[in-house]
Structure 1
């Protein structure tokens, strides 16, 4: 792939791996359009992208260090001072970096509030123009939209009819928003579907471990071929078998793409990036939303009511619930080809 001295910082939030994985097609599109991406993040998102793109330049950003709380909204409120401090630090770091590097012509932030700049065009990626939080939805939505307005454009990864994000991406607020299509690092391939059930574990702790333990118990002694991908990015890839289940600690994108394409059914969280991936791969899925995470709970309910995919709470899950998949339509969407016009914002001169 040809690149020029035009560089763009792309910065995904480190919250699970979803923000990082949906940046993969954008990074590839930037390379295809002769830009040089610079990756900026922290934690697992940073480590994941370094494995996927080992030859790119990286910036280590301050960690938000968001810890999970039983009540997500209350937890985020209590951690707000810590988050605000990290946002201010990353904004200072990004602007300092841009001033020292004249080749940078733009910034793309996936839900990192502080990765914007008055020096170059700045883009914010989100499918949540509206942030659901129960009784405080108005407040969380107001503050999020205020953050979005600090950017020149907001890119929404969905079809223009909000086919997969529903009311999360529908708003009458004056935001320079573009629906850019469903984003996935994967491509549909034809393989024999020799895996009966693929379980993909993801999310922040301790919920990631809760999901893992519950589903291992649910599928213990199942006669079908069961595969678990644990979503634990470690120094070494591992594969092992315990009783009837094959385990992987993590898989690289091309490996996970193959194993999903080879599966009849996928069981996972109703995270938005997972939904987009499975839609591109035309898969039947069963979703288990993270408890007290309104976005995932809404998306699971929205897709269930649309008869696209069944779902249930973690405590209610049993392996025989997968039988309800037979009457669902399944997830399906055409692969998005990111148009070069999307990056026209970055072809102008810097703002100073």
Structure 2
């Protein structure tokens, strides 16, 4: 006990206090690293915000009563009191809350255990102002929260604590309840803070400890946090990056090939579309010219005339005493029909008398006298 410490205790606790025989210890009570809590709780890997630690230190420095008890047992009598605090940066760039607490001479047994190192850890109990989802900032202490959010550890936006790195951000101090001496905390390698490591009182003996026990879903009972264990393998990362880089090169080359193919096919398509347009126009022109040619050549009239001549040919064939020809036996050209028709007409003409009378009989056959013909009669009266 130094005069400076004695005066500080009187300033924070009361001027009537006689701290002559008090034992004072310094400890790291909390920090901004992820808390080592029980798996499956709301406080799993929770992070205490710097502003929360600042408010804790201010609460103590402003004379706020903060008892030192054992194992968070508020029903028994306190073993001491926390009377000073400060925020410091440690050598790994996180902020830590350091506290000074004292025990009076009635706790000689606890003082001996602390000095011997058989009891060397502390834990704090506090109630945050906000219990925020690290993913979206939704507040578990807001009016919208219900029991299912606490039971499932899932915020209203579907983010679950403990999954995919989601945790709670503890922001602000609503109530600083107590600091406890505990048998075992969650921190690895707890150590005694000796005189050479002291930041608040170099002349005092002290303990550095941590504890991460949460007894309910609202009050945070936690010690200093620790960095998550990292299984980072740089060799594996370099190999993976090399594989990804090679794959990117392959995909880039394939993309260039596909782009060239698409450009070529697009050009061919455009050429084909142009050709289709040209051929469509040519087809329309050809159809127009065909109709004009048909009109000028009178193909339909020629076909009708050919059919008529074939009919005449059939009639003349029958008139000449022959059998009517079949369709596949008919001449198919005008020249052939004309030749055949002329031949048959000549034959028929040769056997018909001039003026419609029969040829006279030859000498010596029948009556040699000429006969009257119909043309010798008239309709005139005699």
Normalised by the length of structure 1, the TM-score is: 0.20
Normalised by the length of structure 2, the TM-score is: 0.19
Point out the structure with max Rg over C-alpha: 2
